[in-house]
Amino acid sequence: MVGVRPSYNPPVMSFLRFLMLLSLVAWIGGLIFFAFVLAPTAFQILPNTHLAGNLVGRTLGKLHWIAIVSGIVFLASSLLYSRLTEGTAHAFAIRNVLICLMLGLTLLSQFWMIPRMDTLRASISDFATVPLDSPARVQFDALHAWSTRVEGAALLLGLVAVYLTASGFSRR
């Protein structure tokens, strides 16, 4: 906006940068922990795949809510930070676009994929006893494959967002 002078308040700016980085750390750290620690461990130590799937599914739902809150906090902090430092919010800055894409993927998984997977899981007592060509099993496996891709894409986008955010701060 013409005539708007950016205001520089170091404690406020530091706090906004903190919120942006904290939200990314919580979200990306959660994705990494989930994918590389929780899910594999659940399937290794629990007595059957049904219990492991229930644990992983419920945990993923909670991780998605952390992601949704983190995304909102990041976007609000990023927009305010840009507004205060540059005089305009820069809604379409690459870091904000990446976060919106990540939120879209998270919402797709939380409200479309997981409910369908839960319904299929509830209809099958134990996947170990169901033939691989069973229609419910085929549908579940396809949704699981897409769910894994969606979470992986969110993680990759998040890593890029972390890099862009951190490098943007170093130039100030």
Percent of the chain with pLDDT over 90: 78
Check residue 104 and give its pLDDT: 98
Average predicted confidence (pLDDT) for the chain: 92
Q: How far is CA 169 from CA 7, 13, 93, 101, in A?
A: 16, 10, 14, 22
pTM: 0.90
Q: How far is CA 145 from CA 104, 117, 140, 163, 164, in A?
A: 18, 11, 9, 27, 29
Q: Is the pLDDT of residue 5 over 70?
A: no
HSE on the CB side for 115, CA within 13 Å?
Answer: 5
Q: Is the pLDDT of residue 69 over 90?
A: yes
Distances (CA, A) of 91 to 7, 61, 74, 77, 163: 18, 28, 12, 11, 18
Mean pLDDT of 43-68: 95
pLDDT tens-digit series, residues 90-119: 999 999 999 999 999 999 999 999 999 999
Question: Which range is least confidently modeled, 3-7, 93-97, 131-135, 140-144?
Answer: 3-7
Residue keyed to tokens 């461990």: 41
